[in-house]
Structure 1
């Protein structure tokens, strides 16, 4: 058994880390833990099944629930087995996606009794502007971060449990408190929580920030998925927690509203939210006239 297990969020970052020449095995965690039904800490089988159904539905069937459930089982099995490693090294950045994942993994490691964890967590890298996350780095750049790892403290484990519970229960009061926390044990959590709060529906428009930015880009004349992605990326300051499939899901949601805010012309009338043979070049998007009066966040 290799004495070191590296845990990182996302396949792109994980693939680069695997090529970084570091000792140990790389374990990629996949789940959007800031959203959807779940309980804090280690999940039950029923909770995993509910989670798999949510992820299937949120990708409009782009991911099959059986495939998702198999992946979830594998993730938690590997996390349970991490106790046999001499060291667990956690690689995360400052975005909402990574911070919610970091909190959950720390809560789960504490559940297994394994606190032999080290953390690498950054919000910037020299020469990378704007810096959105570890997925932008090359293998050598990731390797250069390794000497900066630090042991996870008891205070960080305790704080992570609070953060994980807040995301699992979507507790508005705890979110408000976390968003204003000064000098927290995990320093990037407050900003990540504030970004998630921006995703909650605006009382005036019913839109979260990412939806509003997508609609604003389409209204401004962006007609293709690529043009919309470029415009929304420029309008949403780093660190960006979302990827293209998340954005396509938000646009599909705009088209599914009653009345619809966006017309999607292309195969099936929906942008693909996971790997697909359908080309994004086959889609054209138009803003429809029945829209909220305020569409920017």
Structure 2
């Protein structure tokens, strides 16, 4: 039997390959902080729903996503058949990774009976070179029962249709997964502000554009500087900007799909929302999912 490595995306997967660490690799390609993650769906059905959302957002082609889903299901079959001698999880400290980590731990709690280990870093896996990876692998730690139980609890709370379970989790001791508390707090900041309807990311975008117009690429780099642990790539960021453009809150020139070179400026409507003179939902439906919660 061989080892299975599950990691946060293709960049880290490539570094594991370059380091020539034995085993099969499965990148966990999902942006769980955006789009629907409702309760009540088993892992295959949830993954299919997530691929539909990613395709609708325009982040990947339908053909590529179908290929990814087929590969995902094949690995899942192998996990259920106990075909791996060990599963090693490679995840970082940011929101993107921490949500993936609790989903994977929740899934493996019922599917895998073998050794489960974790490479957990407090910086980005891509900040290491391939030559560093064997040492990271050797330093991996066995996932404890407490870690897996906490992951299951928080994953269920993340998928709940109300905020009550996640608030309960934030009032618990989350220290066995040391980066989870800060990540959950950051995720909660993406909920619509009760006075404006804006998420923290949307507020940063409008605040910066209220100071001066900007190319989208430069705006993204300025936004990243305000994150304690960067978790969002430019593709998702430009998607968020596009939704503000579609709502008439931001103006884009030219008006085609947002790229790094697109010039952005705040509109009068955007200034009114930013200054709490009106609410985003008065202009356009929020139509936003946060985990299992839907905001109309």
The answer to whether the Cα contact below 8 Å between 2:48 and 2:69 also exists between their aligned partners in 1 is: no
- Tell me: CA distance 1:110–1:39, structure 2 relative to 1, closer, same or farther (3 Å): farther
Any idea what SS the aligned residue of 1:109 has? helix
- Tell me: CA distance 1:66–1:45, structure 2 relative to 1, closer, same or farther (3 Å): farther
Q: How many angstroms apart in 1 are the aligned matches of 2:185 and 2:137?
A: 29
What is the aligned residue count? 272
The answer to whether the Cα contact below 8 Å between 2:150 and 2:174 also exists between their aligned partners in 1 is: no
Q: What runs of 5+ residues in structure 1 fail to find an aligned partner?
A: 125-132, 273-279
Residues 1:271 and 2:258 aligned together: yes
The answer to whether the Cα contact below 8 Å between 1:106 and 1:160 also exists between their aligned partners in 2 is: yes
Q: What runs of 5+ residues in structure 2 fail to find an aligned partner?
A: 277-296
Provide the alpha-carbon RMSD of the alignment.
2.3
Aligned position for 2:65:
68
- Structure 2 matches for 1:165-180, cutoff 5 A? 165-180=156-171
Q: For CA contacts below 8 A with separation 6 or more, give which structure has more relative contact order.
A: 2
The answer to whether the Cα contact below 8 Å between 1:42 and 1:108 also exists between their aligned partners in 2 is: no
The answer to whether the Cα contact below 8 Å between 1:40 and 1:104 also exists between their aligned partners in 2 is: no
Aligned position for 1:33:
32
Aligned position for 2:149:
158
**TM-score, with length taken from structure 2:** 0.83
- Tell me: CA distance 1:92–1:181, structure 2 relative to 1, closer, same or farther (3 Å): same
Q: How many angstroms apart in 2 are the aligned matches of 1:179 and 1:200?
A: 15
Q: How many angstroms apart in 1 are the aligned matches of 2:207 and 2:177?
A: 34
Residues 1:290 and 2:269 aligned together: yes
Instruction: Tell me by how many angstroms 1:62 deviates.
Output: 4.1
**TM-score, with length taken from structure 1:** 0.82
Aligned position for 1:223:
214
Aligned position for 1:54:
53
Q: Deviations over 1:158-210 (max 9, x none)?
A: 21111221222354112112223335332221111111000001111111111
The answer to whether the Cα contact below 8 Å between 1:261 and 1:287 also exists between their aligned partners in 2 is: yes
